[in-house]
Amino acid sequence: MAIFGLMKTKIKNLTALLLLPQIFLIKWLGQYPEFIETYYSKGIYPYISGFWRIILGWIPFSVGDILYALLVIMGIRYIIMNRMSIKYNILGFLRDITMILSVAYFTFHLLWGLNYYRQPLSKTLGLGEKHSQQDLIKFVDRLVIKTNEIQFRITSDTSKMVKVPYSKKEIMARTLEGYQSLNNKIPIFTYLHPSLKKSIFSVPLSYMGYGGYLNPFTNEAQANSALPSFRFPVICGHEIGHQLGFSAENETNFIGYLATVSNEDIYFKYSAYAYALSYCLNELAGRDQGEFNRQYNNLNPGVKKNYKEVAKFWEAHSNPMEPVFKSIFSTFLKANNQKDGIKSYNAVVTLLINYYQQNPL
C-alpha cells in the first residue's frame, strides 16, 4: 500500500508539473498556423469532432451541460468534505488543482482548442483583411435595402415587427438546411452528424450575456434558447461554425451569417441580413455618427422594432455580474490567440464586406 501511495503521489506531481511545458508547447505550435491548419484543423480534428457528434448528437439534451453541473457539485462537495485536510495540507491541495488544470488543458487542446491557432479564414477564402469607410457605407446601403425589402415581404407592412413562426426546435432543424445549401457553395463548411442543442443553462447564459457556446469536451453546440426567435437562427449557425473547427468569434459570426442567409426560408434570410446590418451599423456609429443616423433612419419601423426586441431582452437580463463574466471571457479569448478579446466579434464586418466585394449582394 505504501508503494502504491508513493506511485500515486509521483503521478500527481508529474501531471501537475507538465502544465507549464504544455503551455510553452502550445504557444510554440501557435507560431505555425499552416501546420495547425493542415495536420490538426483539417487533419485529425474532423475525426475527433465527428466521433463525439456521432456518439452524443442523437441525445436530445446536452450531455456537456450535465457534466459541467456534476463537476461543479463534486468540486464543492470535495471541498466541504475535506476542508480540514485541505487546511493542513494546502500545498497538496494546490498540487491537485494544478494536476486537474493540466489534464483539462491537454484535453481541451486535443479535442478542440488547437483550432485557435489555425490560419485565418480570410486567408483560406482569399479575402482582404481591411476595408475603407466608403466600402462600409456602400455595404450598409445594400443591407438596408435587403433588410427592408424582406421585412415588407413578410409582413406587408413596414411598421410591423417580424415574428418568426417556428419553435426553437424547428429553427435548429432548419439551420441544418442552410448549412446544406452553404456546403454547395463553400465545401469547407460541410456539416455532418449534427449535434445542436438547447442549453440547459439558457437562463444563466442570458444573465451572463452569452448567446451560446461550444462544449469543447463533448463537441455539442449549445444555443441559448431564451433568446428572441428573431436572433436565434444566426446564433445556431454561429455555434455550428465552432463545431466545424473555427474558433475566432468574427469567423463564426461570418459563418453563422452565411449559413443563415443561404437558407431558402425567408425568415432565416431576414434574420441573417438584420444580424449583419446590426454589426455594420455599430461600426458605422463609431466612425461617422451622422452617416449612422442617416442609415438608421432609412430602416423600416418594423426592423427597428426587431432590434428593440433584442435590446430589451438583454436589458431585462443585465446585472452587475455580466461585465465580470464578459471580462473573464475576453481574457480567455486573448489568452487563446484572439488579441482583441470579446471585441473580435465586431471584426465580422471586414469579412462580410470583402466577401461581398467578390460575391455582390
Q: Which of 33, 49, 216 is nearest to 124 (CA)?
A: 33
Among 69-73, 158-162, 268-272, 319-323, the minimum mean pLDDT is found in 319-323
Same-domain pairing of 337 and 231? yes
The whole-chain average pLDDT of the chain stands at: 91
Q: What is the pLDDT of residue 330?
A: 64
Locate 311 and state its grid cell. Answer: 435590446
Residues facing residue 213 across a β-bridge: 222
95-113: pLDDT as tens digits:
889 999 999 999 999 999 9
Q: What is the pLDDT of residue 345?
A: 59
1-31: pLDDT as tens digits:
556 666 678 888 899 999 999 999 999 999 9
Give the side-chain half-sphere CA count within 13 A for 350.
18
Same-domain pairing of 209 and 317? yes
Q: Inform me whether the pLDDT recorded for 341 exceeds 70.
A: no
Q: pLDDT over 90 for what percent of the chain?
A: 75
Q: Which of 117, 151, 170 is the last residue of a domain?
A: 117
Same-domain pairing of 264 and 167? yes
What one-letter code names the amino acid at 166? Y
Same-domain pairing of 90 and 138? no
Same-domain pairing of 257 and 165? yes
Same-domain pairing of 148 and 86? no
As a whole number of angstroms, the distance between CA 330 and CA 340 comes to: 8
174-204: pLDDT as tens digits:
999 999 999 999 999 999 999 999 999 999 9
Q: pLDDT over 70 for what percent of the chain?
A: 93
Q: 64 lies in which domain range? A: 2-117
Q: Inform me whether the pLDDT recorded for 227 exceeds 80.
A: yes
Q: Using 50, 70 and 90 to split pLDDT, how confident is the model at 329? A: low
Same-domain pairing of 158 and 54? no
Q: Inform me whether the pLDDT recorded for 336 exceeds 80.
A: no
Name residues whose C-beta falls within 8 Å of residue 81's C-beta, 6 or more positions apart in sequence: none
246-259: pLDDT as tens digits:
999 999 999 999 99
Number of domains in the chain: 2
Same-domain pairing of 312 and 231? yes
36 and 29 Cβ atoms separated by less than 8 Å? yes
Of 209 and 268, the one with more pLDDT? 268
Q: What is the pLDDT of residue 5?
A: 61
Same-domain pairing of 161 and 92? no
Tell the burial category of 227 from Cβ atoms under 10 Å away from its Cβ (0-12, 13-18, 19+).
buried
Locate 146 and state its grid cell. Answer: 435587403
As a whole number of angstroms, the distance between CA 276 and CA 233 comes to: 13
Q: Which of 117, 133, 165 is the last residue of a domain?
A: 117
Q: Strand, helix or coil at 222?
A: strand
Q: Inform me whether the pLDDT recorded for 89 exceeds 90.
A: no
Q: What is the pLDDT of residue 4?
A: 60
Residues facing residue 223 across a β-bridge: 198, 212
Among 65-69, 205-209, 218-222, 321-325, the minimum mean pLDDT is found in 321-325
Can you give the length of the chain in residues? 361
Q: What is the pLDDT of residue 299?
A: 97
As a whole number of angstroms, the distance between CA 43 and CA 36 comes to: 9
Name residues whose C-beta falls within 8 Å of residue 110's C-beta, 6 or more positions apart in sequence: 48
Same-domain pairing of 113 and 128? no
Query: How many beta carbons lie within 10 A of that of residue 163, not counting itself?
Result: 13
Same-domain pairing of 8 and 103? yes
255-304: pLDDT as tens digits:
999 999 999 999 999 999 999 999 999 999 888 899 999 999 999 999 99
Locate 211 and state its grid cell. Answer: 448567446
Same-domain pairing of 133 and 61? no
Q: Which of 117, 150, 171 is the last residue of a domain?
A: 117
